[in-house]
Structure formats: structure tokens, C-alpha cells
Amino acid sequence: MRIAIFEESDNIRGGLVEGDKIRAFDLEIGALGVASIDDGFLENPVFTGEEFDIEDVEILSPVLVPPRIFGIGLNYADHAKETGRPIPTDATWFMKQTTSVNEPNGFVEKPNVSDQLDFEVELVVIIGKTCRHVPASRANEVILGYSVGCDYSVRDWQRKTTQFTLGKGFDSHAPFGPFLVTPDEITNLDDLGLRCFVNGQKMQDSKIGDMIFKIPQLIEEATKIMTLLPGDVIFTGTPAGVGMARNPQLWLKAGDIVRCEIDEIGVIENKIIDEEVETIIE
């Protein structure tokens, strides 16, 4: 199934994507978006009878407010090499902030405090069950689906401390979508290509199978430590070709268009805009 969370007439809806149409579910979509749909509903969805053209609605992220957003650093050997780092023997985990969630085609802000905004195409995994101590052999039981993501990174802020949190957590810097694609839609995950283009020029081109730490390994490791929750999102790492590692370095600026795509899953595209600095206290 390909499931969309979308806005239509100021209402947030969910639906099944069929070609260029969306068949609306008879379901209230809460803060978790599609993660509020349990397995029973996915097996026998109830439809309202309404059908919408994709181009007539605003596609939102498949999980509106994830409980947590995890990221994996240096999960492709060629990316580790281009950054001058050794290939890791343990996965490098970090957190992105829930306020960094963005629509798959939303505007991405170039921060006022930095000129070092970078791109990273990534496969996104969405967890569908509350789970703990899950062996890798059963990880497929807790995966609700996949999306395309871009882990926008502010490199100078990423290097400010030994942790990545500051550079990875800026608002608008975690767009993903366009849909949630359930695992049964994927022929062979490892064979899927992932690519990133900036202003039409290909910057990254690799395969999911080139990951160092595979998704089942990541789920096993995470659930040794904590309970994963429905709606948790994992950005699984990026291949070589990022702007930081180029000579000369390539930093995103206002007006740039970043397109990320993964075979069989979809495409997201973001326009970079300058951040409007405004004090907000509510």
C-alpha cells in the first residue's frame, strides 16, 4: 500500500494512493498521522467513497509529529571515506528534533546563523508497533513502512560539539514522504537506488544495499536500549556525494532546488529559502 496524509479544505485526511488519485480513508488522523492506523485497518481499510487528485491536495509528511526522529551517521562506507573517517564498527546514532519535520515538498530554511547547509538523501523507516528486545530476524514485524527523506545538516553547528544534535535539529530540516510505502510494495530493498540532485545536477547515487548497518541490525540495537514507539522515524544514513566533502565545498543557498528519490518509494523536492528571523513566545 501507498498511504498519504494530506490536507484538503483545511482538513487533515488519510488515504490510499492509486496512481494519481487518493481514495480517502474513513479515519480520523491524529498527531501521529498514519501511525495511528493499526494492522487491522490496513488489512481491511474503510473508505469514505471520496477520491482526490494528488495535484489538488497538499501532501504532508506520513507521520505528522513523530515521537522521536533517529538518525544514523556514516552508514555508507563511501560516505565515511569522503569525510576522512574510518568505517565505523558500531552504528553512530543521533537525534533530529520533532520540530524539524517538514512536508515532502516543503520549503527548507537556510539558517540565518550559518552558510553551511548540506543535503543528505536517506531511506526513512517508520516504526508501526511498540516494541522492545526485537531480534534482527523479527525486525520486519515492527516496520510499518518506508519513505524518502533528506537529512539536511548545518555542518558548522554539527561540529560545534562532539554530538550532532545542534547541526541536525534545525526547523524544517527533516522533510520525508511523499507517502508511506508498506514493505509488501518493495521487491528487494537492497536493490533500490537512492539519488540526490541539486538544481538538476546529480550529487549522490547509491543503493540501499550499500548500508554498513542494515535496518534489522539497527532495530535490534535500538530495542536493546529502549522501547520503540509507533510513529518513531529512523533516517538510516546517506551515501557519498554530500556538499561538505566536495572540492570546492558546495553549500545550499536560497533558491536552490534539492530533489531526493528512491526507486519504488518516491520523490521529494525542496526549495531552499532564507530563514525569516522572528522572536516567538507563546
Reported as a single tens digit per residue, the pLDDT across 186-228 is 999 999 999 999 999 999 999 999 999 999 999 999 999 999 9
Q: Is the pLDDT of residue 89 over 90?
A: yes
Looking at residue 9, its pLDDT comes to: 87
Domains of the chain: 2-59 (2.30.30), 69-274 (3.90.850.10)
**Pure H helices in 91-182:** 155-158, 165-168
To 5 degrees, how large is the angle CA 169–CA 74–CA 141? 80
215-236 as b/e: b if 16+ CB within 10 A: bbebbbebbeeeebbbbbbbbb
Calpha distance 129→185 (Å, rounded): 19
β-bridge partners, 13: 6
Q: Is the pLDDT of residue 150 over 70?
A: yes
Confidence band (pLDDT; 50, 70, 90) for 34?
Answer: low
Q: Is the pLDDT of residue 82 over 60?
A: yes
Calpha distance 220→137 (Å, rounded): 9
Looking at residue 39, its pLDDT comes to: 61
Calpha distance 93→75 (Å, rounded): 10
Q: Is the pLDDT of residue 31 over 70?
A: no
Confidence band (pLDDT; 50, 70, 90) for 147?
Answer: very high
- The backbone torsions φ and ψ at residue 137, rounded to the nearest 5 degrees and listed phi first, read -65, -15
Order of strands, edge to edge, in the sheet holding 266-274?
108-110, 266-274, 257-262, 193-198, 201-207
Confidence band (pLDDT; 50, 70, 90) for 134?
Answer: very high
Calpha distance 248→270 (Å, rounded): 23
Residue given cell 501511525 in the structure block? 35
Confidence band (pLDDT; 50, 70, 90) for 136?
Answer: very high
Confidence band (pLDDT; 50, 70, 90) for 44?
Answer: confident
Confidence band (pLDDT; 50, 70, 90) for 40?
Answer: low
Q: Is the pLDDT of residue 37 over 90?
A: no
Q: Give me the mean pLDDT over the 221-239 stretch.
A: 96
DSSP string over 201-244: EEEEEEEGGGBSS-HHHHHHHHHHHS-B-TT-EEE----S--GG
CB 119 within 8 A of CB 243: yes
pTM of the model: 0.95
Looking at residue 257, its pLDDT comes to: 98
* For the ranges 29-33, 39-43, 102-106, the one whose mean pLDDT is highest: 102-106
Residue given cell 533528506 in the structure block? 150
Q: Give me the mean pLDDT over the 148-153 stretch.
A: 98
Looking at residue 38, its pLDDT comes to: 62
End-to-end distance of the chain based on CA atoms, in angstroms?
39
Looking at residue 36, its pLDDT comes to: 63
Q: Is the pLDDT of residue 35 over 60?
A: no
If you average pLDDT over every residue of the chain, what do you get? Answer: 94
Looking at residue 122, its pLDDT comes to: 98
Reported as a single tens digit per residue, the pLDDT across 256-269 is 999 999 999 999 99
| Cis amide linkage into residue 104, ω under 30° from 0 | no
Q: Is 173 left (phi over 0), alpha (psi -120 to 50) or beta?
A: alpha
Specify the long-range contacts of residues 255-258, CB closer than 8 Å, at least 24 apart.
256/198, 256/199, 257/198, 257/199, 257/200, 258/108, 258/119, 258/150, 258/196, 258/197, 258/198
